[in-house]
């Protein structure tokens, strides 16, 4: 039995700093509150969570009940704690119960495969799968009086966040059981690395704003735990702002120099010139001893191929690529104006690692190791690649020489005019920690070596991480600024299209605090192309396609890509709106998915019907709408859906917004809390620019929308200024791109200029919609244009 006092002690906290139950009760005033008062009501004084009467109390609410005696609470910040537990035995893997969790709306992110997370929705711990890496609860605040009178309307809401984190050489995850008990699992991945207690396994915090709660929590963990950095502290790769093309879905592993030339040529000639290229899997020198020529193909053996050397294979040597990879890359950069060329490789070189018998690999002291998966991974979906690697083994580089391996490879690639790398199959490392210090230590060693090599050999932090959704990797992202946010885009699978959009949006709640989430490539000529294109436009991510040469939809691409190859990227990771957070956008049959983001002077909001077109993995028994008629759903959009809108609005905001609907081209004026309705069929979407209307000297109310022929119209606006004297007032807008510019104006301007030249415009008095043409190739200052409107 653990003493009630010791349950609250951190090894670094003195006994004089403890807050006892009697003191907590005294904070509530002279009245001594009973259990009924505490249940489900928020304290008037914000406090750090604590355990009382076997309940984990957070802001006065019972977040968990029936908390076992071996659970420990360690202070973190003024409003947060770490949860841990003690055991009588030392083990390399423990599962501890934390208490009963029920009757709260929740969303969690869990790994359904070793590589990838997806969301799960529910209201009790039994809805929480193994390998959960984030848990968010929604709490309705009620006073003690409201508790007694159930007819009183719901109060405001706050949120409770559970983050399983790294604790020394152990990583943690959450899971629920059939008794609605929340549990946490800690594991080292090395049978020789054992402990009997963990003090800082699960971080718990609460707040009124779920997005600020997540940000503040990750920033606290950055300072407290170390080993990673928050996204805002990282150097962003410059290719994020340029349109790209990836070779994977165009060629798969059959990629070749001629095909790359053809793809670059067809995209450029159609008016969507790529400035960023990823040469995906298929360029490396590999060998597969389990696939013999002429013998029947055995599923899974493709993942057993191993890297022979750090250089390119024969396809990229000789006449097809001039004489070398460098000749080829230099030629396509010159011919098509490419700014950045990345190549793909796996964290261990290739899927099956490196070939131990290869003379070129001997210097890295490779050994053939056989992956050992965590029971949590096996408890969800097995993966064909892991089944193969468990059977055939992985040629594993000596951890002490992993930086040398990366440095040699990247130094060679840089000498070939390559600018960066996409590094895949990263979570494999968690299965190789036995005898090597455990999964956390090995992952961190490999990740930091990778980052150091990229920093040494390439400019601009040019690295995309992929297949890296375990907390071992996430909490080791010290310099990495871009990570793939979902399982692959799969153009051949109709049931994966809506799930892809929904999973990236929800995964970005967590991943977006560490990196810019990468939404993956997509086909521009596909029945779901616009669905994916709109999501990328508001995702705050890089935009790249994987079209086969000559197979493009330029009507869609030109709404994403400017003539110079740049894209209008939003400022933040695109995430679900607050009213979407706890609704299943793919399977509840009634909810639309709304995703918000910010530009410099406006918000952007996408709304998607993801219902009835796919089933989440790992759901054993569910009722779905996939066999029913397609669902037409109605929802509402409002300026209040956009977080941080006030920060962009300025002091002279009228509290109204101009709301531009891209598909219909309609403009509405709405108060901040106003809304408009929209109905969407399955796989339909709409994107809105929501621009605060400013009041200028009471003469004119104005708001720039942006380039209204682009999905993210407001991404074109860089700045707005106002000049006024006794004779006139003048609004000046600075922006980039070309095409149809739109704005809301309460008054018709006397005249307008673009780069000081008077320009014709159109104005609709009823809606206040003002439009004018910005010609192609027009620049005033650097790459920007300037519009002046005189009133």
Average pLDDT over residues 309-338: 92
- Answer whether residue 327 shows pLDDT above 90: yes
550 φψ region: left (φ > 0), alpha (ψ -120 to 50), beta (else):
left
Residues 217 and 254 in one domain: no
Question: In this prediction, what percent of the chain has a pLDDT beyond 90?
Answer: 85
Q: Are residues 54 and 163 in the same domain?
A: yes
Q: What is the pLDDT of residue 15?
A: 30
Check whether residue 323 and residue 290 sit in a common domain: yes
- Cα separation of 385 and 114, whole Å? 10
Sheet (strand 717-724) strand order: 717-724, 729-735, 785-790, 751-754, 757-758
How many domains are there within the chain? 2
**Does position 31 have pLDDT exceeding 60, yes or no?**
no
**399 band by pLDDT with thresholds 50, 70 and 90:** very high
Residues 134 and 192 in one domain: yes
* Angle ∠(514,389,90) on CA atoms, nearest 5: 65
**How far apart are alpha carbons 552 and 543 in whole angstroms?**
15
Q: Evaluate whether 378 touches 289 at the Cβ level (below 8 Å).
A: no
pLDDT digits (tens, 9 = 90+) for 238-286: 999 999 999 999 999 999 999 999 999 999 999 999 999 999 999 999 9
Question: 241 and 124 in one domain?
Answer: no
Give the pair of three-digit tokens for residue 388: 């193969």
Q: What is the pLDDT of residue 60?
A: 87
Give the list of residues 6+ apart from residue 74 with CB closer than 8 angstroms, or none: 8, 9, 10, 11, 13, 81, 82, 83, 84, 199, 200
Structure confidence at residue 725 (pLDDT)? 81
HEC assignment per residue over 406-420 = HHHHHHHHHHCCCCE
Domain membership of residue 41 (yes or no) is yes
- Is residue 101 domain-resident? yes
pLDDT of residue 323: 82
In a domain, 492, yes or no: no
In a domain, 72, yes or no: yes
Same domain membership, residue 370 and residue 428 = yes
Strand 544-545 vs strand 516-518: parallel, antiparallel, or unpaired?
A: unpaired
Which SS3 state, helix, strand or coil, does residue 258 take? helix
- The overall average pLDDT reported for the chain is 92
Instruction: Name the pLDDT band for 462 (thresholds 50, 70, 90).
Output: very high
**Is residue 222 located within the same domain as residue 247?**
no
Q: Are 364 and 354 in contact (CB under 8 A)?
A: yes
Residues 217 and 238 grouped into a single domain: no
Whether residue 521 is contained in a domain is answered as: no
Distance in angstroms (rounded) separating the CA atoms of residues 168 and 201: 9
pLDDT score of 272: 98
- pLDDT tens digit string along 657-668? 999 999 999 999
**Where among 460, 484, 508 does a domain terminate?**
484
Domain with 247, as residue range(s), is 233-484
Mean pLDDT of 470-475: 99
Q: Which among 179, 195, 226 is the end of a domain? A: 226
Q: What is the pTM of this model?
A: 0.93
Residue 777, pLDDT score: 79
Contact (Cβ atoms closer than 8 angstroms) between residue 24 and residue 92: no
pLDDT category of residue 763 using cuts at 50, 70 and 90: very high
Q: Cα 646 to chain center, whole Å?
A: 24
Which is higher by pLDDT, 148 or 628?
628
Q: Report residue 782's pLDDT band, with 50, 70 and 90 as the boundaries.
A: confident
Q: What is the DSSP letter of 765?
A: T
Of 484, 501, 525, which marks where a domain is finished? 484
Looking at the fold, whether 320 and 214 belong to one and the same domain comes out as no
Instruction: Spell out a b/e string for 108-136, using b for 16 or more CB atoms within 10 Å of the CB, else e.
Output: bbbbbbbbbbbbbbbbbbbbbbbbbbbbb
Q: Which helix (H) or strand (E) holds 504?
A: helix 497-511
Rounded Cα distance between 165 and 117, Å, is 16
Residue 103, domain member (yes or no): yes
DSSP 144-199: HHHHH-TTSPP--EEEEEEEE-EETTEEEEEEE-TT-EEEEEEE-S-TT--EEEEE
pLDDT in tens, 58-84: 998 999 999 999 999 999 999 999 999
- pLDDT of 387 above 70: yes
- What pLDDT score does 41 carry? 37
Residues 304 and 392 in one domain: yes
328 and 353 in a common domain: yes
Which residues have C-beta within 8 Å of that of residue 288, sequence separation ≥ 6?
Answer: 301, 302, 304, 305, 306, 352
Residue 16 confidence class, pLDDT cut points 50, 70, 90:
very low
Q: Per-residue confidence at 631, pLDDT binned at 50, 70, 90?
A: confident
At which residue do the structure tokens 């991945």 appear? 189
123 has pLDDT over 90: yes
Cβ-contact 47, 26 below 8 angstroms = no
The answer on 206 and 286 residing in a single domain is: no
| CATH code, domain carrying 271 | 3.20.20.80
Residues in contact with 667: Cβ distance below 8 Å, sequence separation at least 6, in sequence order: 658, 659, 660, 661, 705, 742, 744, 767, 768, 769
Q: Determine the distance from the C-alpha atom of residue 373 to the mean position of all C-alpha atoms in its chain, rounded to a whole number.
A: 25
Average pLDDT on 183-197 reads 98
Q: Please give the Cα distance from 175 to 169 (Å, whole number).
A: 20
593 lies in some domain = no
- Residue 149 belongs to some domain of the structure: yes
């Amino acid at each position: 039995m653990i003493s009630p006092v010791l349950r609250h002690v951190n090894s670094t906290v003195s006994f004089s700093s403890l807050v006892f139950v009697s003191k907590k009760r005294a904070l509530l005033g002279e009245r001594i509150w009973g259990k009924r008062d505490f249940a489900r009501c928020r304290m008037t004084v914000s406090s750090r969570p604590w355990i009382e009467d076997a309940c984990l109390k957070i802001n006065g609410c019972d977040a968990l009940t029936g908390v076992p005696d071996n659970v420990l609470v360690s202070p973190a910040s003024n409003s947060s704690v770490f949860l841990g537990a003690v055991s009588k035995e030392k083990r390399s893997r423990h599962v501890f119960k934390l208490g009963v969790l029920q009757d709260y709306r929740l969303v969690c992110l869990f790994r359904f495969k070793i590589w990838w997370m997806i969301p799960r929705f529910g209201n009790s711990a039994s809805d929480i799968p193994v390998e959960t890496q984030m848990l968010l609860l929604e709490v309705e605040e009620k006073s003690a009086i409201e508790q007694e009178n159930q007819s009183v309307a719901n109060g405001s809401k706050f949120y409770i966040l559970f983050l399983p984190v790294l604790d020394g050489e152990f990583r943690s995850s959450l899971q629920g059981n059939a008794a609605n008990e929340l549990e946490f699992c800690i594991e080292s991945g090395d049978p020789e690395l054992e402990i009997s207690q963990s003090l800082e396994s699960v971080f718990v915090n609460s707040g009124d704003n779920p997005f600020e709660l997540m940000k503040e929590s990750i920033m606290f963990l950055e300072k407290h735990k170390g080993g990673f950095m928050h996204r805002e502290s990282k150097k962003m790769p410059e290719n994020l702002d340029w349109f790209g093309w990836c070779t994977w879905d165009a060629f798969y592993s059959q990629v070749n120099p001629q095909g790359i030339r053809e793809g670059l040529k067809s995209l450029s000639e159609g008016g969507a010139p790529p400035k960023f290229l990823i040469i995906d899997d298929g360029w490396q020198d590999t060998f597969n001893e389990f696939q013999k020529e002429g013998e029947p193909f055995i599923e899974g053996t493709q993942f057993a191929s191993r890297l022979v050397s750090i250089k390119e294979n024969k396809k990229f040597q000789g006449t097809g690529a001039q004489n070398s990879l460098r000749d080829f890359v230099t030629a396509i950069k010159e011919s098509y104006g490419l700014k950045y060329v990345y190549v793909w490789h796996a964290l261990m070189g290739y899927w099956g690692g490196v070939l131990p018998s290869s003379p070129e690999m001997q210097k890295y002291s490779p050994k053939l190791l056989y992956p050992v998966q965590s029971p949590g991974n096996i408890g969800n979906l097995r993966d064909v690649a892991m089944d193969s690697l468990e059977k055939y083994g992985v040629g594993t580089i000596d951890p002490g020489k992993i930086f040398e391996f990366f440095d040699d490879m990247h130094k060679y690639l840089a000498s070939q005019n390559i600018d960066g790398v996409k590094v895949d199959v990263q979570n494999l490392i968690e299965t190789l920690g036995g005898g090597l210090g455990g999964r956390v230590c090995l992952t961190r060693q490999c990740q930091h070596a990778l980052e150091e090599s990229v920093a040494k050999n390439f400019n601009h932090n040019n690295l995309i991480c992929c297949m890296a959704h375990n907390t071992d990797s996430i909490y080791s992202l010290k310099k990495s600024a871009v990570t793939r946010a979902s399982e692959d885009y799969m153009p051949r699978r109709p049931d994966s299209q809506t799930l892809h959009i929904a999973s990236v949006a929800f995964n970005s709640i967590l991943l977006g605090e560490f990196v810019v989430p990468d939404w993956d490539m997509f086909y521009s000529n596909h029945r779901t192309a616009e669905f994916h294109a709109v999501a990328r436009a508001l995702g705050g991510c890089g935009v790249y396609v994987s079209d086969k040469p000559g197979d493009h939809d330029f009507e869609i691409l030109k709404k994403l890509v400017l003539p110079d190859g740049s894209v209008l990227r939003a400022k933040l990771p695109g995430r679900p709106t607050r009213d979407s957070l706890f609704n299943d956008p793919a399977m509840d049959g009634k909810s639309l998915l709304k995703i918000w983001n910010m530009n410099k002077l406006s918000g952007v909001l996408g709304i998607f019907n993801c219902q009835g077109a796919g089933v989440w993995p790992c759901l054993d028994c569910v009722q779905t709408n996939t066999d029913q008629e397609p669902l037409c759903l109605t929802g509402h959009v409002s300026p209040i859906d956009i977080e941080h809108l006030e920060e962009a609005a300025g002091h002279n905001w009228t509290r109204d917004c101009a709301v531009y609907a891209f598909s219909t081209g309609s403009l509405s004026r709405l108060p901040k809390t106003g809304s408009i309705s929209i109905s969407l069929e399955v796989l339909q979407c709409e994107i809105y620019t929501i621009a605060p209307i400013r009041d200028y000297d009471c003469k004119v109310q104005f708001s720039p929308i942006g380039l209204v022929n682009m999905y993210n119209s407001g991404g074109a606006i860089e700045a707005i200024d106002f000049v006024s004297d006794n004779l006139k007032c003048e609004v000046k807008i600075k922006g980039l791109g070309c095409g149809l510019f739109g704005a809301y104006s309460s008054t018709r301007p006397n005249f307008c200029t673009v780069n000081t030249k008077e320009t014709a415009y159109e104005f609709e008095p009823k809606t206040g919609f003002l439009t004018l043409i910005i010609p192609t190739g027009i620049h005033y200052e650097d790459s920007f244009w300037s519009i002046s409107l005189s009133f």
